[in-house]
Structure 1
Amino acid sequence: MVRLNRIYTRTGDDGTTGLTGGERRKKHDLRIEAFGTVDETNAAIGLARLYTTGDVDEALARVQNDLFDLGADLSTPESDQPQQFEALRIVEAQVERLEGEIDTFNVQLAPLRSFVLPGGTPAAATLHIARTVCRRAERFTVALMEHEPGKVSPVTVRYLNRLSDLLFVAARVANENGARDVLWRPGQNR
Structure 2
Amino acid sequence: MVQLTRIYTRGGDKGKTSLGNGRRVPKHDSRVAAYGTVDEANAVIGIARLHTVEEADAMLARIQNDLFDLGADLCTPEAEDEQPGAALRIAAGQVERLEQEIDRMNAALQPLNSFVLPGGTAAAAQLHLARTVIRRAEREMTALAGEQPVNPLAIQYVNRLSDHLFVMARHLNDGGRADVLWKPGANR
TM-score norm. by structure 2 comes to: 0.97
Per-residue CA shift, 1:75-110, capped at 9, x if unaligned?
011111357x81000001100000000001001101
Matches for 1:10-159 after TM superposition, within 5 Å:
10-81=10-81, 86-148=86-148, 151-159=149-157
- What is the alpha-carbon distance in structure 2 between the residues aligned to residue 81 and residue 4 of structure 1? 30
The 3-state SS of whatever aligns with 1:185 is coil
CA deviations 1:132-188 (Å, max 9, x no partner) are 00100110000000011xx21111110000000000001001111111100000000
Cα distance between partner residues in 2 of 1:184 and 1:82 = 48
Counterpart amino acid of residue 183 in structure 1: L
**Letter paired with 1:78:** E
* Residue 56 (structure 1) shift: 1.2
Q: Distance in 1 between matches of 2:179 and 2:58?
A: 22
1:30 and 1:169 mapped to 2: Cα distance? 29
Cross-structure match for 1:172: 170
Mapped to 1, the partners of 2:56 and 2:171 lie a distance apart of 8
Q: Structure 2 unaligned runs (5+)? A: none
Q: Output the aligned Cα RMSD.
A: 1.1
- Secondary structure of 2:120's partner? coil
Matched, 1:163 2:161: yes
Hey, what's the Cα distance between the residues in 2 that align with 1:29 and 1:80?
Answer: 20
Question: In the alignment, what sits opposite 1:183?
Answer: 181
Q: Which runs of 5+ in 1 are unaligned?
A: none
State the 4+ residue runs in structure 1 displaced beyond 4 angstroms: none
- Distance in 2 (alpha carbons) for counterparts of 1:115 and 1:6: 47
